[in-house]
Amino acid sequence: MSKFKFAILAALTLAACATAAPTPPPVVHPTTAERNPAVQVDASVFIPPPPAANSALEIAERAIVRGPWSAERRAQALEDNAIDPFAAFDSVLGPQFNGASLPATLAVLDRAGRAAGFAGDPVKFIHRRPRPFVTDSSITPCIPDDERLRASFSYPSGHAALGFAWGLVLAELVPSRADALIERGRDFTWSRVVCGVHYPSDVEAGRTVAAAAVARLHADPDFQRQLAAARTELAALYGQ
């Protein structure tokens, strides 16, 4: 897999996927005047609460997180921890799919990833759900277990949201490979469960956030221009 990294997405690793604060600020929901519905969604309106702590459903979810998982699938989950859509999807789109030569595609994926990845943050602070490995010591995360990760919240998964948003946008841009791109997006999000850092319901909520965020972005003329530029760029490689 390509390991091309780009700095403009690094902030998403810190904010969307590990939102943490020892003393978190109160949740502030923007007013209609402050929020542009063409580029933002209020996930607290449509994301339901997670399963109750230690309920039968959460206990069942915890069993899913424990696995067992093969060493190969755990290794894939570790790779999928990277905030890099090119590494995430080059298994479908090939080695020519790289950010160094596709600046318009990089721009549109960055825009979609940020919109989706950040959209769930207010919901995290509403529910403050601990990550599964924090609740169950028999679960070992595939990424380093540190205090910042432990202090962050699990529901919904920002990492799943950004990954599925990438898959949705790429499926639109390269329709000849849409099914495989959506499947890879689903598998990318499931890596969060395999990694031990999210419950299945966290991931499912993240996918919902992604779908809503991408749908809203389509109402923005600037995003439409970015899509058109990326579509032209990718058509040279994959056709339409």
Cα–Cα distance for residue pair 194/187, rounded to 1 Å:
10
The single-letter DSSP state of residue 28 is: -
Rounded Cα distance, 140 and 9, in Å: 26
Give all domains of the chain, ordered by start, each with its CATH number.
Answer: 39-238 (1.20.144.10)
Q: What is the pLDDT of residue 239?
A: 82
181, 226 Cβ separation under 8 angstroms: no
User: Chunked in runs of 10, what are the mean pLDDT values of the chain (240 residues)?
Assistant: 40 41 36 51 95 97 97 98 97 96 97 94 95 96 92 96 98 97 98 98 98 95 96 91
pLDDT for 40: 84
Pick from 17, 15, 51: nearest CA to 154: 17
Determine the Cα–Cα distance for residues 212 and 49; give it in Å rounded to an integer.
Answer: 17
pLDDT at 70: 97
Specify the pTM. Answer: 0.85
SS3 198: coil
